[in-house]
Amino acid sequence: MANANKNNNTGPLAGIKVVDLTRYQAGPTCTMILGDMGAEVIKIEEPGGDDGRENSVVGGFSLFFAAYNRNKKSVTLNLRTEKGKELLRRFIRWGDVLAENFRPGVMARLGFAYEDVCQINPGIIMMSNSGFGQTGPYAQRAAFNPVIEAMSGLMSMTGYEDKPPSSMGVGLADAAAGSFGAMGTILALYHRRNTGKGQHVDVSLLESELVLMSSGPFLRSLGGLKMTRGSNTVPGGAFLTSDGRYVYILGHHDRHFPIICRLAGRPEVAKDPRFGSLGARLNHRDELNGMVAQWTRTMTADALEAALEEAGLPYGRVNEVADVLEDPHVRAREMLVDMDHPGKGILPLVGVYPKLSETPGSIRTPAPLLGQHNEEVYCGLLGLSKKELATLQAEGVI
């Protein structure tokens, strides 16, 4: 895997200053992307730390936190105190971006609604990331990724028909919301460059999931095609091979169907009028997928992949996560990089994305320890004396 810890910052957002109040996954993904692309990110945590520090803890170290908080400096700040709020105001005056993912209304109760923030810094970009957005009947509801999978309709299409709906097992909505949060922030920065005006970026997990799903499922539903679990592609699915591996084959398109029938030794099936359209094939999915499964069980995974490659069919081996760590294409594209965490050793992190030819982003520092940069930021950036810093620590402000 490629190495990280690049000290040179040539990213396109170099010089942009981010005040980061986010925690857990969606918000930190947004600020991680901004940091990867060169922004200076100061992560402000409650004295107890980001909740993500308690997730996936191995040997006292949160692998989850390490994944989403590189290229950031950590300071602690108690926003329930008046002195803490005043320090946040000073950060806001300094920053170009204020990022938060509290439930809607929390920032207002703290005295930092968008209107309040604008009074402090008229040009600031405020990125708010929530479950359902800042407005609407669901705005105040709590949400996590599986809840969004359920409500977006995605879960209704995930799994098998004879079993309950299931979660995908990864935080897709969180990742999407973080990515769209970064995109919205960058768009707002571009607008500010042209106009001098800041704005509020409103991103939600639900809407981000809907965008990823695109219009396909909704338009199909309007057309009367019911999207059910296990029925989205026919022939298609993860098929078992003779050596116990699974290979995912996609053969549902009209031009793919005759090819997969020929490979399976059943060319006459492609001419059967019962299977003349995708909708017709969905009605006979058990029969058609059974035909493909019978064929794949006679071949090793390597032989099956070779046949599919030669025929030009879309396919992919069902990898274990450990397999992905060694995938030659993933490594060649530098999508997994080694990061040396002091005292924790080498950890594999997902690489910087997207890839820019002239101003590439970089991973310069690992995820910080809680409050690691208190003295550097408070004394260096905000100009506090060490005595003032000690007093604030004693008072529980930081």
C-alpha pair distances (Å), 20 with each of 23, 32, 45, 218? 9, 10, 9, 36
Placement of tokens 């990089």 in the chain: 337
* Dist. CA 25–CA 139, nearest whole Å: 19
Say which of 50, 174, 254, 323 is annotated catalytic: 174
**What is residue 102's three-state secondary structure?**
coil
Best CA proximity match to 251, nearest among 262, 238, 260: 260
DSSP 157-208: GSS-TTS-----SS-HHHHHHHHHHHHHHHHHHHHHHHHS---EEEEEHHHH
Reduced to 3 states (helix: H, G, I; strand: E, B; else coil), residue 239 is strand
Which residues, at least 6 apart from 198, have a Cβ–Cβ distance to it below 8 Å? 118, 121, 122, 123, 124, 125, 126, 188, 192
Residue 175: which of 209, 147, 149 has the closest Cα? 209
Q: Which two tokens stand for residue 47?
A: 């004295």
% helix / strand / coil in the chain, to the nearest 5? 40, 15, 40
Of the candidates 310, 318, 316, the one whose C-alpha atom is nearest the C-alpha of residue 263 is 310
Active site residue 174: yes
Question: Hey, which residues are catalytic here?
Answer: 174
